[in-house]
Amino acid sequence: MGAPHASVWWATLPEPPAVRPPLDGDRDVDVAVVGGGFTGLWTALGLVRRDPTLRVVVLEADVAGAGASGRNGGWASALYPVSFSRVAAESGHEAMARLRATLRTAVRGLGEEAGAEGIDFDYHLGGTVTLARTPLQAERLRHELAELRELGDTDEDHAWLDEHDARARCDATSVLGALYTPHCAAMHPAKLAVGLAGAVERRGVAVCERTAVHEIVAGTRWRRPSAVTEHGTVRADVVVRATEGYTPRLPGARREVAPLYSLVVATEPLPATFFARVGLAERETFCDGRHLIIYGQRTADDRLVFGGRGAPYHFGSRVDPRFDADATVFGKLAATLEELFGPLPGGLTHRWGGPLGVARDFAPYARFDPASGIAAAGGYVGDGVVLSHVAGLTLADLIAREATERTTLPFVGHHARPWEPEPLRWLGINGGLLAAGLADRREAATGRPSRAAAIIERLRGG
């Protein structure tokens, strides 16, 4: 079986995963899960852990872990796609505090739960260091820290590092200081995705690969919901849509989330002398305070994995494997790595990318409608490793009709308004990407805040 994507993660699995057959005809089950990524697999696991007699099937268009779950940047973080200040304004301070505590607990819980299933995925809790490499970045990060203090954070949650302490963690060029949080782990996403697929199978869940779902049909008083594939139709009491960036391929869902592409590169294993110079001794994940998002980590086998946004949005919310590679963006990522750390003592060995799901208000969702029998979760905007874990287990709670602390979190039951029709969607999203790059270039040239940054915040619903 060929690799589903060109990521270093798939290339460094201990062994190729087992080949699973597609659906073999019509089937009747209790729960059908559409999508074999983190959301779908955690939902399935949460359901069968609660009730081992449930008949659950996972329908995956490619192979388990082929989407963002198996090819992301490897951050298991407590990040949330919108600011916690906005969450507090919209849902109240108490709800915000519960959400933030849930995500931070889940960073550690992810490692513990996967470990309990026998999954080794190179998990290491080293935190995140967000570098300030210009005075403007330092000002913005200090302002962010002040907002976090107002929301209840202490030094144990976020701390300002002076230049010396910041360089001790990540000695990149031009570092003036950094914001540090311990609430993040570096991990190997493909090992986790493949391990979860095996874990649900061992508990009796059927995982059908190479089984693309062409339509999800809502249930009514007279019929059960169903998932329609070319190999047969699966009828169930509940159908879970866990398709994230691929959601626009489904009928009626083209404007629900926008598939924005994030691209990543990886180096060959780098020598100990390099890390003796740049740090990352605790495998801290790292980024800096620019507007156009970048993210990196030191892997367990001493590579740098480094990614960022900036790839264009494609008209009509198109998703195509051809968009997973963009030579221009890959070149910019390589140049940014060299800008951060100087000439690298090793070349790039892997380049890859793919879509992630972004709702119009940038807020995630997990919801279940008992009347139609349709459940769904997504909209993680690239912060999905931990959030999908929480959302998947939340869907399992909702489907089981069990009230838990998770089912009262602010993203539960959330509906965003749809994205604008084309060409407004194309103009707005790509305009936002251009504005982020322009803001960084203008600030580097002038040393003053860029007005373009305000455009980014408006597009994000800020």
Please list, residue by residue across 283-297, b when 16 or more beta carbons sit within 10 angstroms of its beta carbon and e when fewer do: bbbbbbbbbbebbbb
Question: What residue ranges do the domains of the chain occupy?
Answer: 8-72+190-257+361-408, 421-462
Torsion of CA 205, 207, 208, 211, to 10 degrees: 110
Q: Judging by beta carbons within 10 Å of its beta carbon (0-12, 13-18, 19+), is residue 70 exposed, middle or buried?
A: buried
How many angstroms separate the CA atoms of 279 and 266, rounded? 18
Residues of the chain short of pLDDT 70, as ranges, are: 1, 453-462
Architecture of domain 8-72+190-257+361-408: 3-Layer(bba) Sandwich (3.50)
The pTM (predicted TM-score) of the whole model is: 0.96
Which of 142, 119, 122, 124 has its CA nearest to residue 132? 142
End-to-end C-alpha distance for the chain, whole angstroms = 44
Which of 23, 51, 76 has its CA nearest to residue 188? 76
Which of 243, 247, 244, 240 has its CA nearest to residue 44? 240
- 115-162 pLDDT, tens digit each: 999 999 999 999 999 999 999 999 999 999 999 999 999 999 999 999
The residues pairing with 267 across neighbouring beta strands, listed in sequence order, are 348
**Lookup result for tokens 């460094």:** 12
Residue-level pLDDT at 433: 87
Which of 369, 423, 375, 371 has its CA nearest to residue 396? 375
Length of the chain: 462
Which of 12, 85, 4, 75 has its CA nearest to residue 268? 12
Residue-level pLDDT at 18: 85
- 34-89 pLDDT, tens digit each: 999 999 999 999 999 999 999 999 999 999 999 999 999 999 999 999 999 999 99
Q: Which tokens belong to 429?
A: 């999203």
Residue-level pLDDT at 176: 98
Side by side, which strands form the sheet with 257-267?
159-162, 177-181, 128-132, 285-288, 294-298, 304-308, 257-267, 348-359
| DSSP β-ladder status, 56-59 and 213-217 | unpaired
Q: Judging by beta carbons within 10 Å of its beta carbon (0-12, 13-18, 19+), is residue 2 exposed, middle or buried?
A: exposed
Residue-level pLDDT at 461: 52
How many angstroms separate the CA atoms of 47 and 304, rounded? 36
Residue-level pLDDT at 435: 85
